[in-house]
């Protein structure tokens, strides 16, 4: 019954998820979900490969491997992808990332920094089980919708000089110049990625 209810909740949440892909998932400490060999770990942003194939529900893929959480209180791993495997089927809702076996992605010991293991853990709502999704935003598309030339130049300069993973230092007045839909999706935050692409720091509720 628990698994069936969980599947219904995940499936119903997909109606609220845009079709846009998620590029990165970051922990409450600001470090991103990544891999070290086959182990799931936190990593900094610079030069990291994005995840692919995930838009809020389903498999989370990286380098042709899928994030897998089979046993509680054990590290998450990246394994060969298996169609329909519940340990590899993830849903993102209200800041929580959990799979169809009921395990939540948990940063071990709420430790900060890169290289911390990400665990399969009972869902508790703890801060180290909180994740943000990051979606691609084309810089040129954003700039084309900003009417004020000064603000447009400020955003462009900030985006092109930002280190990967660095939030753009925009004032509330400048953020108000951004397209309304983008503000809603990002919660008022844009993060630099590669000079031409930004990522939104929004969630899916």
What does pTM read for this prediction?
Answer: 0.78
Q: Which domains does the chain have, with CATH numbers?
A: 2-129 (2.80.10.50), 134-200 (no CATH)
* pLDDT digits 0-9 by tens, 98-130: 999 999 999 999 999 999 999 999 999 999 999
* pLDDT digits 0-9 by tens, 152-171: 999 999 999 988 888 888 88
Q: What is the pLDDT of residue 172?
A: 83
For a pLDDT cut of 90, what percent of the chain falls above it?
Answer: 56
Q: What is the pLDDT of residue 183?
A: 58
- Rounded to whole angstroms, the Cα distance separating 181 from 27 reads 24
Q: What is the pLDDT of residue 15?
A: 32
**What does residue 52 show for φ and ψ, rounded to 5 degrees?**
-145, 160
Angle among Cα 170, 18, 22 to the nearest 5 degrees reads 65
């Amino acid at each position: 019954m628990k698994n069936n209810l969980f599947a219904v909740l995940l499936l119903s949440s997909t109606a609220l998820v845009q079709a846009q892909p998620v590029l990165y998932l970051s922990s409450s400490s600001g470090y991103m979900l990544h891999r070290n060999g086959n182990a799931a770990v936190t990593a900094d942003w610079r030069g990291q490969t994005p995840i692919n194939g995930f838009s809020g529900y389903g498999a989370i893929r990286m380098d042709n491997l899928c994030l897998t959480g089979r046993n509680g209180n054990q590290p998450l791993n990246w394994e060969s992808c298996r169609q329909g495997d519940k340990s590899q089927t993830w849903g993102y809702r209200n800041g929580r990332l959990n799979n169809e076996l009921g395990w939540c992605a948990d940063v071990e010991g709420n430790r900060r920094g890169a290289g911390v293991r990400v665990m399969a853990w009972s869902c508790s709502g703890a801060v180290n089980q909180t994740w943000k999704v990051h979606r691609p935003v084309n810089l040129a598309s954003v700039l084309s919708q900003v009417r004020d030339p000064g603000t447009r130049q400020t955003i462009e300069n900030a985006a092109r000089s930002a280190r990967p993973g660095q939030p753009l230092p925009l004032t509330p007045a400048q953020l108000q110049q951004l397209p309304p839909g983008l503000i809603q999706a990002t919660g008022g935050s844009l993060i630099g990625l590669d000079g031409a692409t930004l990522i939104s720091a929004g969630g899916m509720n």
